């Protein structure tokens, strides 16, 4: 099963340092890892740096795989609403990068399979511009999955989804990671989703790691207060699951 | 083949519907090729003396069996003009298509981003002031000036677009600023020009195919023949640019390099035709939009469709320019918008959901 480890990873845009000294333990495939933190903390930049799309110091160690860095797939928030392409074409586009014009039946069968798994096969021949934000997020996930990555970096994939779709997508990704051995890092704003679906959590704040480890150890009242400036409790619900109960936000200075 | 497609569709699987979509697009491209061939033939039939279409076709495919006069008129006089319309239309349309793709901007075209205006100013520099921007081959001063100014404008737009914080709207505003700047400079030159030079500048800025020669046709065609396969090689990557830079980069595309390479080729495609035939607006803007409405933005179809739509649009315009006043050929730059706009309106209002 693939394993990922970050060693003193940083990221720079020109002369500006956006991330520095990001270390993680070994993140093994087969589960979800939440990457959380306030807005502009550097979560997207971290994903771009891991995927080789941003420059910076440090090392990204990828082990227990026969593939190279191309097996890391970054799924940005950008969903390309203006493109005059059908859903099917946009997924094909992802699968065909770097290869010839000819499209084989096997490649199309794979697209059919991915769209059906995400239950968006009924949207296959709708234009991207005709879809809701949530539907486009699902198409974005399909574009990533069709590349068969071993490490998937999902940048706020649930941000435009309704509650049912959020639960459906996170549940699907968790099952997929468990079955395929894929390592999935997900940037999330809903910390209750992180508590429910993610085995491990990395907290990014101000361009560095504020905390990391098993999710239930990382998401604590103290962390919520110091990183998010929110007074909250983490308690067990009637089903025994941990949930965050927000009491108040700390007034802005 | 049709039976096979029907069988696949009946399975209602995505791949069957996709194959049917591809077949439909190939049919559309074939239709455009047929329409273009017909338009070129009609273009060659019309002139001071009109010939029946059958005579033109005979002169084309069996030139030994027609009179010397017909052969000379078709092959030496009318064919360079008819093919110039095709190559110029195709070049401007592909240039516009790729500008719209890499700048993520539906308003991008050689005309709207100031490249044609820059070329006009360059030509006027030669015609009015006798200034050669590139002081070699003085006999080609006008097209060379036009070409170099167009290249400069295109590269300016490109490098401006890569600057931090520059948005789609900024690029359009920069283009408008370039148009106004070069038009003002052109007006100044016209104000200072002699009567003869003024007439030459005005005629040049209207755009005209009447000065087409075989060497000009070959040069324009050669640039097109080199450029289109270069774009075709990056068909998947260029299509992916329409999903946004981050998404394209996540597919493993070097977005910066692809954009620079494309803009350099686009500069050539936009500058060469303008330097030979003057300012012809609209084709570079509308050709790609018509192509997009017909076949979408998968560059495997969008690229040939842009070539064909631009070529057909200018070829039909050439035909119309000969029909408005019998015996006279109006400058084609005047007619392009008059022919293209109604057609464009029809497409927009019948196909609104698939427009940009």
| C-alpha R_g of chain B | 21
Give A89 to chain B, closest Cα distance, Å. Answer: 8
| B246, B252, B355: residue with CB nearest A97 | B252
Contacts of A200 (CB under 8 A, 6+ apart): A27, A31, A33, A34, A212, A213, A214, A215, A218
Q: What is the pLDDT of residue A80?
A: 75
Structure tokens at B188: 């100044």
Phi then psi dihedrals of residue B77, to 5 deg: -105, -55
Q: Look at residue B272 in the predicted model and tell me its pLDDT.
A: 85
Nearest beta carbon to residue B239 from set A75, A93, A144: A93
| Candidates A85, A145, A156, A185, partner chain B, best to mutate (most B CBs within 10 A) | A85
CA distance A219 to chain B (A): 30
Q: Which residue has the higher pLDDT, B168 or A66?
A: A66
Query: Has residue B134 got a pLDDT over 70?
Result: no
CATH code, domain carrying A154: 3.40.50.300
- Closest partner residue to A85 (CB to CB) among B19, B235, B298 is B298
Residues paired with A31 in a beta bridge: A183
- Tell me the per-residue pLDDT of A39-60, one tens digit each, with 9 for 90 and over: 988 999 999 999 999 999 999 9
> What ipTM goes with this model?
0.86
- pLDDT for A180-229, tens place per residue? 999 999 999 999 999 999 999 999 998 899 999 999 999 999 999 999 99
For A143, which residue in chain B has the nearest alpha carbon? B251
Q: What is the pLDDT of residue A98?
A: 79
Comparing CB atoms, the residue among B13, B297, B353 nearest residue A83 is B297
Q: In chain A, which residues touch B (CB < 8 A)?
A: 14, 51, 53, 70, 73-80, 82-86, 88-90, 92-94, 96-99, 101, 103, 105, 108-109, 111-112, 115, 121, 124-125, 127, 129-130, 140, 143-144
Could you tell me if B289 lies within 8 Å of chain A, comparing CB atoms?
A: no
Residues A119 and A46 in one domain: yes
Please give the structure tokens belonging to residue A210.
């504020």
pLDDT at B354 over 70: no
Distance from CA of B223 to the nearest CA of A (A): 23
Q: What are the beta bridge partners of residue A234?
A: A244
- pLDDT above 90 covers a percentage of chain B that reads 40
Which band of pLDDT confidence, cut at 50, 70 and 90, is reported for residue A252?
low
Dihedrals phi, psi of B102, to nearest 5 degrees: -80, -25
CA distances from A251 to A41, A92, B102, B222, B279 (A): 19, 49, 45, 68, 62
Residue of chain A whose Cα is closest to the Cα of B297? A84
Q: State residue B353's pLDDT score.
A: 52
Of B15, B244, B293, which is closest to A109 when you measure between CB atoms?
A: B15
Min Cα separation B230/chain A (Å): 14
Average pLDDT over residues A230-235: 90
Coil, helix or strand for B326?
Answer: coil
Supply the pLDDT for residue A123.
93
**C-alpha span between A157 and A78 (Å, rounded):** 10
Q: State pLDDT tens for residues A67-126.
A: 888 899 999 987 777 889 999 999 999 998 878 899 999 999 999 999 998 889 999 999
- Cβ contact A234:A221 at 8 Å: yes
B11/A contact by beta carbon, under 8 A: no
Which of A233-242, B154-163, B258-267, B308-317 ranks highest by mean pLDDT?
A: B308-317
Minimal CA separation from B3 to chain A, in Å: 17
Within 8 A of B14 by CB-CB distance, chain A residues are 88, 108, 111-112, 115, 121, 124-125
- On whether any CB of chain A is under 8 Å from the CB of B352, the answer is no
What is the model's pLDDT at position B3?
A: 39
Please indicate if any CB of chain A lies within 8 Å of the CB of B247: yes
Per-residue pLDDT band at B280 (split at 50, 70, 90): confident
Q: At A238, is the pLDDT very low, low, confident or very high (cuts 50, 70, 90)?
A: confident
Domains: count for chain A: 2
Confidence of residue B88 (pLDDT cuts 50, 70, 90): very high
How far apart CA B289 and CA B216 sit, in angstroms, is 27
Q: Check if B250 contacts A (Cβ < 8 Å).
A: yes
Q: Rounded to an integer, what distance in angstroms lies between the CA atom of residue A10 and that of residue A41?
A: 13
CA dist A218 → A39, A69, A183, A228, A252 (Å): 18, 29, 19, 13, 24
Q: pLDDT-derived band of residue B144, with 50, 70 and 90 as boundaries? A: confident
What pLDDT, on a 0 to 100 scale, did the predictor assign at position B196? 87
Is A158 found in the same domain as A236? no
Mean pLDDT of B18-27: 95
Strand partners, A17: A12
Q: What is the nearest CA distance from B15 to chain A, expressed in angstroms?
A: 5
How many degrees, rounded to 5, is the angle at CA B80 between CA B68 and CA B84? 160
Provide the pLDDT for residue B5: 39
Same domain, A195 and A238: no
Q: Please state, for a pLDDT cut of 70, what percent of chain B lies above it.
A: 92
Average pLDDT over residues A13-38: 90
Confidence band, pLDDT 50/70/90 cuts, at residue B11: very low
Domain region containing A240:
220-253
Pick the residue from chain B with its C-alpha nearest to A146: B251
State yes or no: pLDDT of B123 exceeds 70. yes
Inter-residue contact B28 to B294 (CB < 8 Å): yes
Cβ-defined contact of B251 to A97 (cutoff 8 Å): yes
* Interface contact A80-B242, CB threshold 8 A: yes
DSSP-based three-state secondary structure for A185: strand
Same domain, A231 and A181: no
Mutation to test the A interface, candidates B8, B9, B13, B14, most A Cβ within 10 Å: B14
Q: Is the domain of A38 the same as that of A128?
A: yes
pLDDT digits (tens, 9 = 90+) for B312-337: 999 999 999 888 887 777 888 788 87
Give bridge partners of residue A75 from the DSSP assignment: A154
A108 and A160, same domain (yes or no): yes
CB contact under 8 A, B356 and A121: no
Residue A251 has pLDDT above 80, yes or no: no
* Of A64-68, B53-57, B318-322, the least confident: A64-68
> Does residue A249 share a domain with residue A192?
no
Please list every residue in chain B whose beta carbon sits closer than 8 Å to the beta carbon of residue A139: none
* A31-36/A183-187 β-pairing: parallel
CB contact under 8 A, A143 and B247: yes
Q: Say which of A51, A90, A108 has its CB closest to residue B15.
A: A108
B292 and chain A in contact, CB less than 8 A: yes
User: Do B237 and A97 count as a contact with CB atoms less than 8 A apart?
Assistant: yes
**A207: nearest Cα among A8, A22, A35:** A22
CATH no., domain B82-354: 1.10.3470.10
Inter-residue contact A58 to A6 (CB < 8 Å): yes
Mean pLDDT of A132-144: 88
Residues A167 and A234 in one domain: no
Tell me what pLDDT residue A74 has. Answer: 93
pLDDT for A253 beyond 60: no
Cβ atoms < 10 Å from Cβ of A154: 26
pLDDT above 50 for B2:
no
Residues 6+ apart with CB under 8 A from A142: A87, A91, A111, A114, A115, A118, A120
Q: How many contacts (CB atoms, under 8 Å) link A and B?
A: 108
pLDDT of residue B4 exceeding 50: no
């Amino acid at each position: 099963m693939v394993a990922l480890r970050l060693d003193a990873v940083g990221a720079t845009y020109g002369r500006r340092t956006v991330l520095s000294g990001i270390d993680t333990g070994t993140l093994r495939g087969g589960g979800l890892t939440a990457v959380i933190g306030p807005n502009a903390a550097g979560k997207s930049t971290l994903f771009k740096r891991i995927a080789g799309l941003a420059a910076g110091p440090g090392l990204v160690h990828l082990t227990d795989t026969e593939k190279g860095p191309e097996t890391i797939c970054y799924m940005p928030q950008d969903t390309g609403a203006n493109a005059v392409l059908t859903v099917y074409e946009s997924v094909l586009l992802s699968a065909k990068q770097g290869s010839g014009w000819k499209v084989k039946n096997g490649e199309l069968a794979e697209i059919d399979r991915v769209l059906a798994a995400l239950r968006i096969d009924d949207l296959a021949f709708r234009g991207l511009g005709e879809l809701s934000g949530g539907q486009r997020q699902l198409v974005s996930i399909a574009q990533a999955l069709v590349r068969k990555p071993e490490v998937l970096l999902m940048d706020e994939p649930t941000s435009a989804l309704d509650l049912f779709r959020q639960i459906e997508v996170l549940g699907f990704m968790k099952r997929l990671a468990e079955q395929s051995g894929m390592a999935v890092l997900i940037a999330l704003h809903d910390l209750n989703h992180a508590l429910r679906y993610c085995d491990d959590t990395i907290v990014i704040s101000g361009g560095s790691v504020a905390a990391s480890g098993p999710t239930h150890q990382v998401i604590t009242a103290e962390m919520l207060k110091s990183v998010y400036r929110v007074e909250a409790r983490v308690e067990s619900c009637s089903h025994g699951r941990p949930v965050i109960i927000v009491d108040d936000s700390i007034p802005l200075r | 083949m049709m039976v096979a497609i029907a069988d696949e569709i009946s399975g209602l699987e995505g791949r069957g519907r996709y194959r049917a979509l591809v077949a439909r697009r190939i049919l559309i491209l074939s239709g455009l090729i047929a329409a273009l061939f017909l338009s070129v033939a009609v273009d060659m039939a019309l002139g001071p003396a009109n010939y029946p279409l059958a005579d033109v076709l005979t002169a084309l495919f069996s030139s030994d069996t027609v009179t010397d006069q017909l052969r000379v008129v078709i092959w030496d006089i009318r064919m360079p003009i008819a093919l110039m319309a095709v190559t110029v239309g195709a070049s401007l349309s592909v240039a516009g298509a790729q500008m719209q793709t890499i700048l993520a901007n539906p308003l991008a075209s050689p005309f709207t981003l100031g490249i044609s205006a820059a070329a006009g100013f360059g030509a006027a520099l030669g015609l009015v002031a006798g200034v050669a921007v590139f002081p070699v081959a003085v006999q080609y001063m006008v097209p060379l000036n036009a070409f170099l100014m167009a290249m400069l404008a295109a590269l300016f737009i490109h490098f401006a677009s890569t600057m931090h914080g520059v948005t789609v709207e900024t690029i359009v505003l920069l283009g408008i600023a370039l148009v106004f700047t070069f038009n003002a400079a052109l007006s100044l030159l016209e104000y200072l020009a002699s009567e003869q030079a003024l007439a030459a500048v005005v005629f040049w800025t209207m755009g005209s195919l009447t000065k087409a020669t075989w060497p000009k046709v070959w040069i324009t065609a050669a640039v097109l023949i080199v450029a289109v396969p270069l774009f075709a090689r990056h068909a998947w990557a260029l299509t992916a640019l329409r999903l946004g830079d981050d998404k394209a980069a996540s597919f493993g595309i070097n977005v910066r390099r692809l954009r620079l390479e494309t803009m350099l080729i686009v500069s050539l495609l936009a500058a060469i035709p303008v330097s030979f035939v003057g300012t012809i607006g609209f084709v570079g803007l509308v050709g790609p939009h018509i192509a997009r409405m017909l076949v979408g933005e998968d560059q495997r179809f969008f690229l040939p469709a842009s070539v064909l739509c631009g070529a057909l649009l200018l070829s039909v315009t050439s035909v119309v320019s000969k029909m408005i006043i019998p015996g006279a050929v109006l400058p084609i730059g005047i007619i392009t918008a008059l022919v293209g706009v109604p057609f464009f309106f029809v497409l927009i209002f019948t196909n609104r959901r698939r427009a940009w």
